[in-house]
Amino acid sequence: MTKQDTLFVSSLEKGLRVLDVFRRHGASLGITEIAHATNMDKSAAQRFTNTLHRLGYLEKDKHSRRYRPAIKLMDFSYTYLQQDRLAEIAVARLIEAGKVYGTTVNLCVLAGTDIIYTVRIPHEKANYNATIPGRRIPAFCATGGICILAFRPADEATAIIDASDIRPLTEHTITDRDTIMRRIAEAHDQGYAIGAGQALPNEIAVAAPVIGNNGMSIGAVLIPVYKPQWSMEHATEKLAPLAMETARSISGSLYRNL
């Protein structure tokens, strides 16, 4: 065992694995479901779940005996976003961009092989799920992910695609590796990425990179719209320039606020 291995606390990892199950498998779970999803025996799953419940991170329904995330978990989201300089700088610019065509405008960042929405500025008719920060989408099919990877070193982008679990989210999701890599190359050449129906049916999404002081992308501005109100041609003409202008403004402000 290496020195680094001795610093790893397996019991803590198992407890966090229980919390992660609720993100991946649903908001309300019983002990048997938790045990199956975490590959633990039922006794271990019960101990970890009960500990998280007593600490205030899980709630337990007295009647069904099922567990769900508790409000205390919101503390972590608040703590992260409160110190996120990129999100702080981006918010005002995303709000202004959303006013131009009355669209939702999001900020996303790369997290492993996924993207995560850290800021979401919804339009007035957006459904609830489209307003919640924290959603994960595989980078290989997310327009924001394609955009971020397009402005990272080629070997990094390749490694992330190779490590991805490439499964379709819709009937139009591109799953051919060579085609995905071509999308990344095209986004780099154009300065933006665009996709239709890749992560959600009927969605057209346009994304432009936010560039850090090392010249690489640290996030992306994403503008999603929907058919039939928008077409690919209309989105390319109207939204691509808006996304790029907004992303450049955020990038410039990051430099000035270093």
CATH number, position 54: 1.10.10.10
Q: 24 and 65 share a domain?
A: yes
Write down the pLDDT at residue 130: 84
**Mean per-residue pLDDT over the chain, rounded:** 94
Write down the pLDDT at residue 258: 55
175 belongs to a structural domain: yes
**Do residues 207 and 221 make contact, with C-beta atoms less than 8 angstroms apart?**
yes
**pLDDT per residue over 118-138, tens digit each?**
999 998 888 888 889 999 999
Mean per-residue pLDDT for 230-254? 97
Write down the pLDDT at residue 243: 99
Q: 223 and 146 share a domain?
A: yes
Q: 97 and 213 share a domain?
A: yes
Q: With 0.85 as the threshold, say if the pTM is over it.
A: yes
* List of residues 6+ apart from 61 with CB closer than 8 A: 28, 67, 68
- Could you give phi then psi for residue 117, rounded to 5 degrees? -80, 120
pLDDT surpasses 50 at 31: yes
Mean per-residue pLDDT for 182-210? 97
Boundary-marking domain end, from 74, 92, 121:
74
21 belongs to a structural domain: yes
Please report where in the chains the tokens 């101990």 appear, as a residue: 47
Omega before 228 within 30 of 0, i.e. cis: yes
C-alpha triplet 234, 235, 237: angle, nearest 5°: 65
| Weakest-pLDDT range from 72-86, 98-112, 117-131, 232-246 | 117-131
* List of residues 6+ apart from 21 with CB closer than 8 A: 29, 34, 37, 38
* List of residues 6+ apart from 231 with CB closer than 8 A: 204
Q: 93 and 58 share a domain?
A: no
| Distant-in-sequence contacts of 67-75, Cβ < 8 A, 24+ apart | 67/22, 67/28, 67/29, 67/30, 67/31, 67/34, 68/22, 68/27, 68/28, 68/29, 69/19, 69/22, 69/27, 73/19
34: containing domain? 10-74
Domain containing residue 154: CATH number: 3.30.450.40
Q: 114 and 15 share a domain?
A: no
96 belongs to a structural domain: yes
d(CA 140, CA 126): 25
Mean per-residue pLDDT for 185-209? 97
Q: Using CA atoms in the order 185, 179, 220, 125, what is the torsion angle rounded to 10 degrees?
A: 140
What are 166's two structure tokens? 């490439």
The terminus-to-terminus CA distance of the chain in angstroms comes to 41
Q: 187 and 142 share a domain?
A: yes
1 belongs to a structural domain: no
**Do residues 74 and 68 make contact, with C-beta atoms less than 8 angstroms apart?**
no
Total domain count, the chain: 2
Q: 218 and 92 share a domain?
A: yes
Q: 111 and 166 share a domain?
A: yes
Q: 107 and 53 share a domain?
A: no
Boundary-marking domain end, from 30, 49, 74:
74
What's the pLDDT band for 1 if we cut at 50, 70, 90?
very low
**pLDDT per residue over 135-167, tens digit each?**
999 999 999 999 999 999 999 999 999 999 999
pLDDT surpasses 80 at 3: no
C-alpha triplet 97, 131, 129: angle, nearest 5°: 140
pLDDT surpasses 60 at 207: yes
**pLDDT per residue over 36-92, tens digit each?**
999 999 999 999 999 999 999 999 999 999 999 999 999 999 999 999 999 999 999
Boundary-marking domain end, from 41, 74, 107:
74
What's the pLDDT band for 254 if we cut at 50, 70, 90?
confident
What are 192's two structure tokens? 């933006």
112 belongs to a structural domain: yes
